[in-house]
């Protein structure tokens, strides 16, 4: 389940006629996403089955053109075939660039893998917002686990996992000292890098993150410079800023050359419009809103020299791009905190690495994989297997992981039950 990350389709007659491609782009959009819908319907059910082979997945999709677009050719080829409008091309491409530093024509197809996971959710491509926010979801999971007899402990850092493949010992430390527990299976949702450190194994290839995250609380939504669109409508879907196709390519070029993008691309989601319960009732009644901005093409390496200075520079440049579309500066709408400071926080990949232990700030824990078995990569039967038979990945680092989906957890449970 994911809270956001869906590109808003230009559906209304107004948006259609205001595109340079006009009706043709609208028709192309429907046809392109018709293909994606077909792929979603056929691939999504496989995510909670044992990994299919590449050929089995291809047969299951049963559409060679769709297969070529997504699994064989860089996504840029299909985008340029289907669409002519730069804005539409860019909007489509963004789902391939979330947390992913790649060009539309990257021969590694990293962008295709990111795109695929963004358009197949639930078999429709729709992604859901958990009512009450992510905390409500994790509370429900914790309650279900406790009801089933689990003991949940927090503030315990695992320091070591020893295993002979059938019996394991996990050593951890907490405020009360160090201890070791024995287990038949160890399911790990920390990153594969963290797991390697725990077992003393070979660390996976590094794969840095590339996103810039800004969270904000507003007293009200800002008024838009474009009077044809109401702010509540504009922020209800995904609000794309500086994400034209050429702008994305330029930002990628600058970042590849070691510079922060001068026109930083980003997109914004307003979760409180979709679900006001993410705010307390009092703030919701006063019209407060949350905005969360996801910036693209800012790889961790750009912050290595001086994280604080790069963060401040990028935040200013990113907000300037947003302000260009607003009738009033965003800063006028930010709510103050108890000390009178504006409620805004910005996180670089290095911040996320330090605070959340995401390796290199990579929100997916590592580079995403296509959802099929790859013997050379040792993907195993469920995509959760590790070098140790009774140690399984149950988090984002598994094949078919990468998001808040629960899929790796399900698959790790299936793998453990199958042993
Ligand atoms: C800014 C941002 C935006 C995102 N947006 C979305 C989105 O819109 N939709 C979506 O689906 N996904 C999104 N994601 C990705 C999503 O958050 C992750 O895929 C998901 O959190 C992965 O869950 P996980 O349980 O596998 O790992 P994590 O949430 O990374 O949890 C692993 C935990 O293990 C802990 N840990 C590590 N080592 C140890 C140790 N030795 N001992 C004890 N604990 C340890 C870590 O501190 C961490 O708390 C986003 C991520 C970020 C950072």
**Taking residues 185-205, what's their average pLDDT?**
95
String of DSSP letters for 273-296: HH-GGGS-HHHHHTT-EEEEEEE-
**Taking residues 98-108, what's their average pLDDT?**
98
**Are residues 111 and 210 in contact, defined by beta-carbon separation less than 8 angstroms?**
no
Q: What is the pLDDT of residue 170?
A: 98
**Are residues 415 and 400 in contact, defined by beta-carbon separation less than 8 angstroms?**
no
Query: Which is higher by pLDDT, 16 or 59?
Result: 59
Distance from the alpha carbon of residue 24 to the mean position of ligand 1, in angstroms:
40
Residue 12 CA neighbour count, 13 Å, CB half: 9
Residue 8 has pLDDT above 90, yes or no: no
Residue 358 has pLDDT above 90, yes or no: yes
Distance from the alpha carbon of residue 278 to the mean position of ligand 1, in angstroms:
19
* 219-241 as b/e: b if 16+ CB within 10 A: eebbebeeeebebeebbebbbbb
User: Could you give the domains of the chain?
Assistant: 1-128 (no CATH), 153-207+362-417 (3.50.50.60)
**Are residues 265 and 243 in contact, defined by beta-carbon separation less than 8 angstroms?**
yes
Distance from the alpha carbon of residue 402 to the mean position of ligand 1, in angstroms:
9
Distance from the alpha carbon of residue 188 to the mean position of ligand 1, in angstroms:
12
Residue 15 has pLDDT above 60, yes or no: no
Q: What is the pLDDT of residue 419?
A: 81
**Taking residues 337-356, what's their average pLDDT?**
97
Q: What is the pLDDT of residue 134?
A: 87
**Taking residues 36-58, what's their average pLDDT?**
98
Query: Which is higher by pLDDT, 3 or 102?
Result: 102
pLDDT > 70: percent of the chain: 95
Summarize pLDDT for 268-318 with one digit per residue, the tens. 999 999 999 989 899 999 999 999 999 999 999 999 999 999 999 999 999
Q: What is the pLDDT of residue 17?
A: 56
Closest Cα to atom 37, ligand 1: which residue? Answer: 190
Averaged pLDDT score across all residues of the chain:
93
Q: Is residue 396 in contact with ligand 1, taking CB distance under 6 Å?
A: yes
Query: Which is higher by pLDDT, 379 or 247?
Result: 247
Q: What is the pLDDT of residue 20?
A: 65
Summarize pLDDT for 106-145 with one digit per residue, the tens. 999 999 999 999 999 999 988 777 888 889 999 999 999 9
**Taking residues 377-394, what's their average pLDDT?**
95
**Taking residues 188-204, what's their average pLDDT?**
95
The model scores a pTM over 0.85? yes
Sheet containing 289-295: order of strands:
239-241, 266-269, 289-295, 212-218, 344-347
Confidence at 13, pLDDT banded by 50, 70, 90: very low
SS3 264: coil
Kindly give the number of the ligand 1 atom that is closest to the alpha carbon of 194.
38
Residue 379 has pLDDT above 50, yes or no: yes
Distance from the alpha carbon of residue 107 to the mean position of ligand 1, in angstroms:
28
Kindly give the number of the ligand 1 atom that is closest to the alpha carbon of 213.
1
pLDDT > 90: percent of the chain: 87
Residue 154 to residue 348: CA distance in whole angstroms: 26
**Taking residues 190-214, what's their average pLDDT?**
95
Summarize pLDDT for 235-274 with one digit per residue, the tens. 998 999 999 999 999 999 999 999 999 999 999 999 999 9
Kindly give the number of the ligand 1 atom that is closest to the alpha carbon of 404.
11
SS3 58: helix
SS3 239: strand
Q: What is the pLDDT of residue 205?
A: 87
Pocket test for ligand 1, best of 300, 363, 391 (most atoms within 8 A of CB): 363
Q: What is the pLDDT of residue 184?
A: 97
Q: Which two tokens stand for residue 309?
A: 């200075």
């Amino acid at each position: 389940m994911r809270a956001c990350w869906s590109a808003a389709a230009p559906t209304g007659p107004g948006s259609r006629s205001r595109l340079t491609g006009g009706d043709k782009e609208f028709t192309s959009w429907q046809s392109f996403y018709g293909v994606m819908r077909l792929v979603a319907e056929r691939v999504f059910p496989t995510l909670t089955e044992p990994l299919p082979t590449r050929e089995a997945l291809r047969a299951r999709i049963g559409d060679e053109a769709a297969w070529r677009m997504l699994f064989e050719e860089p996504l840029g080829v299909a985008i340029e075939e289907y669409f002519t409008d730069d804005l539409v091309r860019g909007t489509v491409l963004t789902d391939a660039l979330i947390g992913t530093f790649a060009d539309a024509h990257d021969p590694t197809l990293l962008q295709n893998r990111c795109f695929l996971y963004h358009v197949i959710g639930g078999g429709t491509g729709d992604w859901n917002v958990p009512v009450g926010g992510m905390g409500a979801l994790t509370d429900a999971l914790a309650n279900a686990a406790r009801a089933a007899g689990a003991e949940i402990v927090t503030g315990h850092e695992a320091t070591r996992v020893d295993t002979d493949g059938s019996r394991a010992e996990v050593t951890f430390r907490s405020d009360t000292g160090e201890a070791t527990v024995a287990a038949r299976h160890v399911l790990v949702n920390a990153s594969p890098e963290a797991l390697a450190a725990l077992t003393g194994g070979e660390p996976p290839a590094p794969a840095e993150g590339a996103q810039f995250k800004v969270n904000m609380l507003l007293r009200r939504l800002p008024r838009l410079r474009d009077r044809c669109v109401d702010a509540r409508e504009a922020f209800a879907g995904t609000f794309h800023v500086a994400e034209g196709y050429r702008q994305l390519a330029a930002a990628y070029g600058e970042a590849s050359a070691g510079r922060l993008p001068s026109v930083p691309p980003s997109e914004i989601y307003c979760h409180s419009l979709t679900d006001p319960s993410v705010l307390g009732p009092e703030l919701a009644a006063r019209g407060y809103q949350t905005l969360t901005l996801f910036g693209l093409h800012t790889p961790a390496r750009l912050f290595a020299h001086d994280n604080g200075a790069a963060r401040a520079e990028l935040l200013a440049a990113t907000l300037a791009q947003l302000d260009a579309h607003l009738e009033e500066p965003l800063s006028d709408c930010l709510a103050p905190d108890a000390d009178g400071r504006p409620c805004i926080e910005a996180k670089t990949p290095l911040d996320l690495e330090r605070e959340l232990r995401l390796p290199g700030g990579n929100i997916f824990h590592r580079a995403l994989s296509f959802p099929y078995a790859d013997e050379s990569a040792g993907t195993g039967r469920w995509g959760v297997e590790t070098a140790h038979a009774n140690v399984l990945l149950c988090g984002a680092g598994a094949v078919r992981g990468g998001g808040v989906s629960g899929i790796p957890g399900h698959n790790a449970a299936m793998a453990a039950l199958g042993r």
